[in-house]
Structure 1
């Protein structure tokens, strides 16, 4: 008899367990923002060159450029694939070349284009605040942050610090914040690529120097040309 009651109890228990309602898992709703903006931090690494250079002008070593800042995105169409952006950043540009700047006995600045055997080292570097203003196209959606892009526009830079250092083997000439330099620089640029990695090219529209001339009488009208990579980080 006890055996029968035990069997009945077990059957009833398993039957009740089987009839228990299995509640579905409730997942939190994720709200997707269809009115997104591509506000981004940017960082670029470039190889620095010059255009419109004097005769016999040469560069050696790797002339490095670094810049970084923040861009505010302003979409212009409903699908948000076309936009305008502007922002602020800082840049560091370093150049190794044979355009030398020294001083004569009266302290006047002397510009020359010298062979590399005529000096030990020569470099120019500058620090600037920059303001990019760009027009943007991308095939982005609010569901993905990975997309193709073509961004282009103008960049305005204000050089707040600069220095040239020449070691000719006998003397070292260091000229800080050369007054011959155009502190306000501007040029056009283009960046294109996919996701974080993008190619970058900048061409300066105004010369680095205001009215400098070499000892041979040539005007120094060199302009910046920077090529490298730019990274965008949300």
Structure 2
């Protein structure tokens, strides 16, 4: 009988010990999408310059440019470091300068390059819908969203609204949607940098205005150039 109870106790002890055995933790398998895209929202702020300008033309104050939009990324190599992207955006461009636009008695525009002492204030601004198409290189991987990039391409813009405002001290001329403004503009651009912060430069290939002349008879072929920063947000 003593032997029976001893065996029973031993079996019960083994049973309790086996129930406390720790099983290894099974971690879930996290799948990483190696077929990633760098679809991005972008926002840029730039200083607007005028190039190929008439003589005596000078800029004043800070001429700011703002743009924002979305780009669709389309990788073209296996490692997805090279891609083509196309997008859609909006831009606002503002220029402070001494290229003036006034009106004659018939309402026709008159163009001139005046000294700053000859008027109180003068500015030109435009709003556009943009279509950027760019070629992309980056050293990104599907495990990291921080990488170096060089993006370059062409941007086509449709100017849907423009306005020049001249205060000469006696009269204020406000000319909206001037028919001499080139409503279809295009140029090349380059963006390069790391992660979110990138240097941006744009150079217009066609003039801001169609064939117009100043009061001195000089033809105007000035173009826009923007230099600033562009931010990409996934």
TM-score, normalised to structure 1, is 0.91
- Which runs of 5 or more structure 1 residues have no equivalent in the other structure? 1-8
Matched with 1:52 is 52
Q: Deviations over 1:27-56 (max 9, x none)?
A: 332210011111111110000011000101
Tell me how far 1:211 sits from its aligned partner. Answer: 1.0
1:85-117 CA-partner distances (Å, limit 9, x unpaired): 101000000111110000112222110111111
Q: 1-side partners of 2:21 and 2:56: how far apart?
A: 87
Count of matched residue pairs: 223
Structure-1 separation of matches of 2:182 and 2:23: 72
* Alignment match, 2:201: 201
Aligned counterpart, 1:143: 143
CA shift at 1:26, angstroms?
A: 3.3
1:71 corresponds in structure 2 to 71
Q: 1:5 corresponds to which residue?
A: none
Gaps of 5+ in 2: 1-8
> Which residue pairs with 1:105 in the alignment?
105
**Cα deviation, residue 125, structure 1:** 0.5
| Corresponding residue of 2:173 | 173
SS at match of 2:219: coil
CA distance in 2, matches of 1:20, 1:167: 89
Other structure's SS at 1:22 match: coil
Cα deviation 1:159-215 (Å, max 9, x = unaligned): 000000001111000000000011000000000000010000000000000011100
Partner of 1:80: 80
- Give SS of 1:140's match: coil
Moved more, 154-163 or 108-117: 108-117
**Aligned counterparts of 2:121 and 2:27: Cα–Cα separation in 1:** 65
Q: Given the superposition, is the C-alpha separation of residues 47 and 17 from structure 1 closer, same or farther in structure 2, using an over 3 Å criterion?
A: farther
Q: Could you say which residue in structure 2 is the equivalent of 1:182?
A: 182
Give 1:132 deviation, angstroms: 0.3
* SS of aligned partner of 1:117: helix
Which residue of 2 is the match for residue 23 of structure 1?
Answer: 23
- Name the Cα RMSD after superposition: 1.7
TM-score, structure 2 length as denominator?
A: 0.91
The equivalent of 2:120 in structure 1 is 120
How far residue 130 of structure 1 moved from its aligned partner, in angstroms, is: 0.2
| Distance in 2, Cα, partners of 1:145 & 1:106 | 59
Once the two structures are TM-superposed, the CA of residue 17 in structure 1 deviates from its matched residue by 6.7
1:22 offset after TM fit, Å?
2.1
Helix, strand or coil for the counterpart of 2:151? strand
- How far apart are 1:220 and its partner, in Å? 1.1
